[in-house]
Amino acid sequence: MALKGGSFLIEKGNPKDIFIREEFTEEQVMIGQMVTDFCVQEIQNKIKERGREFEADKDREEIVGQLEKAAELGLCGVAISEEHGGMALDFNTGLVFSEAIAMGLSFATTIGAQTSIGSLPIVYYGTKAQQDKYLPGVASAKLKASYCLTEPTAGSDANSGKTKCVLNEAGTHYIMNGQKMWITNGGFADIFIVFAKIDDDKKLSAFIVEKEFGGVTIGAEEKKLGIKGSSTVQVFFENTPIPVENLLGEREGGFSMALNILNTGRIKLAAGTNGGAKFALDQALTYAMERKQFETEIVKFGAMQHKLGEMASRIFCVDAGVFRVGRNIDLKRKELQAAGMPVQESKLESIREYAIECAILKVKGSENADYVIDETLQIYGGMGYSAEAGIEMGYRDARITRIYEGTNEINRMLSVAELTKRALKTKEIDLIGAGKQVTGRVVSSIFSGTKSGAAEEERIVQAIKDVFLFISGTAGKKLGTKMVDEQEIVMNLADILADAFICDSAVLKLRKLEAMGGDKEKLVAQRAAVQVYLYEALERVHKAAKDAITSYATGGEKSRANFVVRKLLKSYDVNPKDLRRAIVKYMIAEGKYSI
């Protein structure tokens, strides 16, 4: 198996190489259940008792208490070494945690900052002295952590931040001045990972800043649409003295650090949003099975089955991508360590290797969660719009996931830019060679009709990959370096690339499940979930390709390009209505999402 990020586009995967949740170890299952139980008992039940959601400005002590209770179970140290009081989970098991903690609603954001962006810079980049000093406190929640990157004028363009540091005359401290905003956990944080420029540097550096250093002022809690139980504030630094030994990583290495930490956060967010989507689907299914109209449970109506089946299909296929990549990151880390790379560096490099997939999963996971929760509210009808049912809270909470960890627009462009860099600059991925093979497959498709059978799903996956290769090749040839400025085309390509990866992962997962055997009725539902996703993906890809072609091609060139796309994206001879109903039939029997 090639452990190379982006290779899914040009290589045919082997089902034996993909990891699926059915292969979870007993320990992974137990961790997922432990986290779920904690979220139900400490968050969901408390919200029901109170009759309202937690609010950071009113319930700070209780929210901090929840974080400390989580730490007692080891949940604040999932990525921290045992030496420093953590659990030292491998990456894929960390995704199990991320998926389950979504049951904690806005608390997932609070503990996410503690276990991910607020502490991973120290885990991955810290010196031994820094790790010894800070990580035990983070793991025990005696130190609450936060991450300070965004500024009023520096959001997606993080390197344009204006926060500055200068070295004092004694050479003992950096003196920091600046302002940060949208700081999760900032209202009660003890330490801040802060990004700033030293003197006239062009790139950011990173620092570990303790609140007790002085010169740190915390703003009021932001009034937000959702995640109200998560502390979000502005943080001001005024002549804040930072010991020189608290420079984190190399000078001017902060921007690279921020990107690498965001890669980690993106796939964790994908796991979390998929976990939230599963929770919402369970709520929708239960309500639809209980709610009657016209003396019939609404789950029996075709319109409701369409919604529920579509929701399950999207969840199932994103799940395939999340744990495929999580396991590959673990395998890449082991490969790098076996080659002699130090542990910290190997962790960073293994995540960086899959930056393309992490960006794709962040987009797909967050947008699918928004879709699922929106449809859940619709199934609840007027009750869903009422605060009494709690669905509107999830609806509001989910919206932020398309913004933080890099907006979905940024992540779309990043996925294509990173793939292009690996193809043209570092020569890690042979896109040009793969593109040359597309012509032969187009010619073959002209002389073959629509097919069916076991290999039809693989044909669709290859067709979507070929459309990406064809569009990126023809658009790149015509536009050259100007293509980077044609963001609409890049976004179209990103959507095609994302569906190529999710479809590829879903089909590989299905083939592995088929080889494993097991419950035949469940396998029928799983197969239906993949087929529905492929059916919908063909339509999305066709539209994205058409939009892209219209943007760069004219006249006969445009006609020829559209002809190629039509020949590649032949129709898929399945009945999506029957497939969705098959999915829902199985879920009704199980009483929950269980495919």
Structure tokens at 238: 């005024």
Chain-centre distance of CA 330, in angstroms?
17
Distances in whole angstroms, Cα of residue 538 to Cα of each of 503, 507, 521, 531: 10, 14, 26, 11
Contacts of 457 (CB under 8 A, 6+ apart): 507, 510, 530, 531, 534
Residue type, 24: F
Specify the pLDDT at position 451: 53
pLDDT of residue 452: 46
- How far is residue 102's CA from residue 278's CA, in Å, rounded to a whole number? 10
Residue 154: DSSP 8-state: B
Contact call for residues 102 and 272 (beta carbons, < 8 A): yes
d(CA 89, CA 518): 29
Query: In this structure, what token pair is assigned to residue 17?
Result: 């190489």
387, burial (CB in 10 Å: exposed 0-12, middle 13-18, buried 19+): exposed
Strand partners of residue 237: 178, 216
3-class state of residue 194 by DSSP? strand
* pTM for this predicted structure: 0.96
DSSP letter string, 21-55: GGG--HHHHHHHHHHHHHHIIIIIHHHHHHTS---
Query: Cβ neighbours of residue 133 under 8 Å, at least 6 residues apart?
Result: none
Helices vs strands, H then E, count in the chain: 20, 10
Q: What single-letter amino acid sits at 403?
A: I
Provide the pLDDT for residue 324: 98
Q: What residues form DSSP beta bridges with 297? A: 292
Rounded CA separation 374/398 (Å):
9
For residue 553, CA distances in Å to 108, 439, 475, 549, 557 come to 46, 18, 8, 5, 6
C-alpha span between 538 and 21 (Å, rounded) = 26
| Token representation of residue 511 | 């083939």
CATH of segment(s) 143-252? 2.40.110.10
CA distance 490 to 501: 16
The CA distance from 1 to 4, in Å, is 9
Those residues whose C-beta lies under 8 Å from the C-beta of residue 189, and which sit 6 or more positions away, are: 118, 144, 145, 146, 183, 211
Strand stretches in 185-277, DSSP E: 191-198, 205-210, 216-218, 232-243, 247-248
Give the per-residue pLDDT at 285: 98
Q: Distance (Å, rounded) from C-alpha 555 to C-alpha 594?
A: 50
**CA-CA distance, 507 to 530, in Å (whole number)?**
7
H helix or E strand, kind and range, residue 292: strand 292-293
Catalytic residue among 353, 367, 392, 405: 405
Cα–Cα nearest to 229, from 72, 394, 60: 60
Q: Is 430-590 in CATH node 1.20.140.10?
A: yes
Domains of the chain, residue spans: 143-252, 430-590
**For residues 395 and 373, what is the distance between their CA atoms, to the nearest angstrom?**
6
CA end-to-end distance (rounded Å), the chain: 27
Is 405 an annotated catalytic residue? yes
421 Cβ contact list (under 8 Å, min separation 6): none
pLDDT along the chain (595 residues), means of 10: 89 95 97 97 95 95 97 96 95 97 97 96 97 98 97 85 95 98 98 97 96 98 97 98 97 93 95 98 98 95 98 98 98 97 94 97 98 98 94 96 95 96 91 86 71 77 96 92 92 98 98 94 98 98 97 93 93 96 98 95
Cβ-Cβ contacts under 8 Å for 26 (sequence gap 6 or more)? none
List strand residue ranges (DSSP E) for 126-229, in order. Answer: 145-148, 164-167, 173-184, 191-198, 205-210, 216-218
- Contact predicate 165/205, CB 8 Å: yes
Q: Which residues pair with 262 in a beta bridge?
A: none
